A = this chain, B = another copy of it.
């Protein structure tokens, strides 16, 4: 019998290891060899799943983006209103950052810093930022309807401000090794500027 060429479980494990390695050592600092070793598949079979390291990077960005959106789904299911859901979402990210000792941070920001010249990766990053911004916008618009967020600015503006500030604060979290920049960012937006 021929060996199965595309095991969805192996593909997922490769993406999980890819995300972890890219967060830890960046795209250029990560070799395919170390990823396949961690997943315990032969290097040749990697190319059954991904045509190149660049395409693997783009898929890892999509995988990471989907996991963020799933985390937002969960936070919404667990929270009484959209502002609480945003807090729950960011709190869960901060727990991860603390567990990683303030290294890693956000794959979208890191690879955005590193991969702007790779068209497949840049495209995947642009889509990931848009997907997160659109989701924040939907939540903030609902929060406006519920009287929880100011209505004199468009929800899309608030969503852009939230995502930009958060990404900048994540970088400062990494260099300061502290959650303080993130807590400050959320306090000044969710508890400050965004209030009605």
**CB distance A175 to B28 under 8 Å?**
no
Cβ of A102: which chain B residues have Cβ within 8 Å of it? 116
**CB distance A114 to B112 under 8 Å?**
no
**CB distance B129 to A172 under 8 Å?**
yes
What are some 25 contacts across the A-B interface (CB < 8 A)?
Answer: A25-B28, A28-B28, A29-B114, A108-B171, A109-B171, A112-B172, A113-B113, A113-B171, A116-B175, A116-B177, A122-B174, A122-B175, A125-B175, A126-B176, A153-B188, A160-B184, A160-B185, A160-B188, A161-B185, A163-B172, A164-B164, A164-B181, A167-B168, A167-B172, A168-B169
Q: How many copies does the complex hold?
A: 2
A64 to B: closest C-beta gap in Å: 14
A17 to B: closest C-beta gap in Å: 19
Instruction: Count A-side interface residues using an 8 Å CB cutoff.
Output: 43
| A103 part of interface (Cβ distance < 8 Å) | yes
| A166 part of interface (Cβ distance < 8 Å) | yes
Tell me, in angstroms, the Cα distance from A183 to B108 when the chains sit together: 21
